[in-house]
Amino acid sequence: MGAFASYAPMALSALQTGQQISSNRADQKSRAAQTEATRQADINQINATEAEREGERAEELRIRQAQLRARQGASGLQSGGTGSASAVLAGLEKQALSEAATDEAAAARQRASVNQQASWREQSLLRSSQDNTVARLNAWFARRDGWG
């Protein structure tokens, strides 16, 4: 019976340590899922803002083109005057495409930043969980061996 009495506290300690490690891993997975959900929300917000700006830009271009065509028609220009109007319309389209490319590049940079931050947080959580597990195991072995 004496041997059992000496192993019982050690077994109980091992069980408790295992439960703490399991609990920490579950907590780490929960925080990682929360980080991923935050990342997805941020990406969706960037995409929604980009789509909204694209729609506004397209509507503004359509209005400007319609106004230019209306002015051209109202002034009664002949076919000789359409060349300059076409050039202005082409310039408007080119400007809109340039603005779209600039906004798209900015959105891509924002997405990359969000992804990088999420990756860093995830790696930090993983390192923290690993460090915690190692610390608990070291403490358990130290107790078992009578060092602590």
The residue type found at 143 is: R
Q: What is the DSSP string of 91-139?
A: HHHHHHHHHHHHHHHHHHHHHHHHHHHHHHHHHHHHHHHHHHHHHHHHH
Contacts of 75 (CB under 8 A, 6+ apart): 81
- Encoding tokens for residue 23? 């609990």
Give the domain range for residue 30.
2-144
Give backbone dihedrals phi and psi of 77, rounded to 5 degrees, phi first.
Answer: -65, 145
Give 112's pLDDT tier (boundaries 50, 70, 90).
Answer: very high
Number of domains in the chain: 1
| C-alpha torsion sign, points 92, 95, 100, 103 | negative
pTM over 0.75: no
Reported as a single tens digit per residue, the pLDDT across 62-83 is 888 888 877 776 565 544 555 6
